Amino acid sequence: MRLTARRGGVLSRRWITGEDGRHRGNVVEAKHLQPSDPDMMELYLDLHSQPCRSVFLFAKAVGIPFEFKLVDLAAGQQYSEDFGKISIMRKVPVMKDGSFILTESVAILKYLAQKHSSSVADHWYPADLKQRACVNEYLSWQHMNLRTHGSKVFLLRALYPIIMGSEVPKEKMDAAIEDLNQSLNLLEEKFLQNKPFIIGNKISLADLVAIVEIMQPVGTGLDVFEGRPKLIAWRERVKKELGEKLFDEAHEVIMKVTSLPQKMQSNSDLEMLIPKFRKIFS
Ligand SMILES: N[C@@H](CCC(=O)N[C@@H](CS)C(=O)NCC(=O)O)C(=O)O
């Protein structure tokens, strides 16, 4: 992958996918020679972020072309003046489709599925009332459950020591892992049951959003799949549907997350993040 230009703290690179939705490689562009295509949808992303990975994976898996705008969270680029013009929320992902700007990964995923419904297979976000309701049920549940609990374990394991300057207290870590396990139990027992995917025989946005959240603590070296054969089999099915190469590409940075603290430590913008993390951890 080539970074093609730096404009106002946001790096651009272009992705291209084939008609079958599989990644065909990057269009290597010299942005300083070639102006950006004004009609190309832009996705502002940092693949350390779970919601960013879901949007990235979906767009690539179904073959929606986009320009990748890197917002390096560890470098504090979400606080840059340029990014502030895109979203005052200062969070990623953000989608810019023409002049239409949309935040919130779930809203972006649904927008993309609906906008491209003629080319995106129905199973991603089924038109059937009840099937769609089941996808929405999972998407509504996950925010305060699997996402909250997986993120907490991730933050405690990856960032707590550097932000707080001490080891994570055992009871704090144990409680976070217990909450995560409860969410994983519910994913298995309520949502997955004995089906291949959350809504049945086919992958949907629900599976995509679930897997990216689970991979967050996995990136810190915690094998959350241990002793969960049903979840392992589901993970393998999801990977196969997305394409192993694409899945690994999306998760490459999170699987190397142990280097993040060093990167942040050498960064003066870290100071802006410290009060925020202290609030989460205290
Ligand atoms: N509910 C939002 C969550 C977005 C979010 O929290 N993004 C995080 C990364 S996972 C972020 O940009 N954080 C930057 C910050 O808080 O400074 C979504 O699903 O898109």
Q: What is the DSSP string of 78-114?
A: GGSHHHHHH-TT--S-EEEETTEEEESHHHHHHHHHH
Query: 44 CA distance to ligand 1 centroid (A)?
Result: 11
- What's the predicted TM-score (pTM) here? 0.87
pLDDT at 35: 54
Last residue of one domain, picked from the residues 78, 98, 120: 120
For residues 109 and 141, state if they share a domain.
Answer: no
Ligand 1 and 216: CB distance under 6 A: no
Digitized pLDDT (tens) for each residue of the chain, 282 residues in all: 333 344 345 666 544 333 333 333 333 333 333 456 778 999 999 999 999 999 999 999 999 999 999 999 988 899 999 999 999 999 999 999 999 999 999 999 999 999 999 999 999 999 999 999 999 999 999 999 999 999 999 999 998 888 788 899 999 999 999 999 999 999 999 999 999 999 999 999 999 999 999 999 999 999 999 999 999 999 999 999 999 999 999 999 999 987 676 666 666 656 666 777 777 777
Quick check: is 281 in a domain?
A: no
User: Do 71 and 150 fall within a single domain?
Assistant: no
| Cα 19 to ligand 1 centre (Å) | 31
C-alpha 11: how far from chain center: 18
In a domain, residue 269? The reply is no
- Tell me whether residue 276 is in a domain: no
208 burial type by CB count under 10 A (0-12 exposed, 13-18 middle, 19+ buried): buried
- 278 within a domain of the structure (yes/no): no
Task: Count other Cβ atoms within 10 Å, centred on residue 102.
Answer: 16
Assess whether 70 and 148 both reside in one domain.
no
Distance (Å) from CA 97 to ligand 1 centroid: 19
* 128/256 same-domain check: yes
Q: Is 200 left (phi over 0), alpha (psi -120 to 50) or beta?
A: left
Four-residue CA torsion sign, 212, 103, 113, 44? negative
Query: Based on the structure, what is the number of domains in the chain?
Result: 2
Range of the domain at 157: 124-260
Task: Establish if 130 belongs to a structural domain.
Answer: yes
131 with 228, same domain?
yes
Query: Does residue 179's CB lie within 6 angstroms of at least one atom of ligand 1?
Result: no
Are 9 and 77 in contact by the 8 Å Cβ rule? The answer is yes
Tokens of 203: 């992958």
CATH number of the domain to which 253 belongs:
1.20.1050.10
